[in-house]
Amino acid sequence: MANGQLNGTDLGVYIGGTLVAYSTSATINVNHSPRSTSNKEDGGWESAMEGYRNWDVSCDALYAWLDPDGNPITNDTLSDMFTAYIYTRTKFELTFGVTTTTSGDTKYVGDAWMTSASLSAPNEDTATFSVSFQGTGTLTQTVTA
């Protein structure tokens, strides 16, 4: 990846190494929830210490079953993900970022649950879907040397 600002097209959501099909946008959120240590001796000022960390990913994509040539899509589609992860309640490895090995490339990897899926079918417009994933356990950041 070139130095400087990144093109969002280069970042994707991968489930078990497979890119989510026809993705148009993706977001990763990493959060830290400090725990309160406030007490009567704080003079009315809230105090806190480290707490739990969590992460989640969401993705929007075009809804399709076949590629433009009429062949089945080999990437993860909404139908694939629903069957594999929501219906069966299965945890999986999720990667956010790039899967290339160019120096400086960054990716985030961890186990996740698929928590929601929605399908939008507007009149005379492209059908789209949105999916959300909740991380479980450690999120690992890797930067290619």
Report residue 54 as tokens: 């969590």
Q: How far is CA 22 from CA 9, 25, 26, in A?
A: 11, 9, 11
Tell me what percent of the residues of the chain surpass a pLDDT of 70: 97
Report residue 63 as tokens: 């809804």
pLDDT digits (tens, 9 = 90+) for 19-52: 898 999 999 999 999 999 999 999 999 999 999 9
Phi and psi dihedrals of 84, rounded to 5? -80, -30
Write the DSSP assignment of 21-68 as a string of letters.
TTEEEEEEEEEEEEEE---TTSTT---EEEEEEEEEEEEEEE--SB-T
What's residue 71's pLDDT? 87
SS3 132: strand
User: How confident is the prediction for the chain on average, in pLDDT?
Assistant: 91
What's residue 4's pLDDT? 66
What's residue 136's pLDDT? 98
What is the residue extent of each domain of the chain?
A: 12-34+51-143
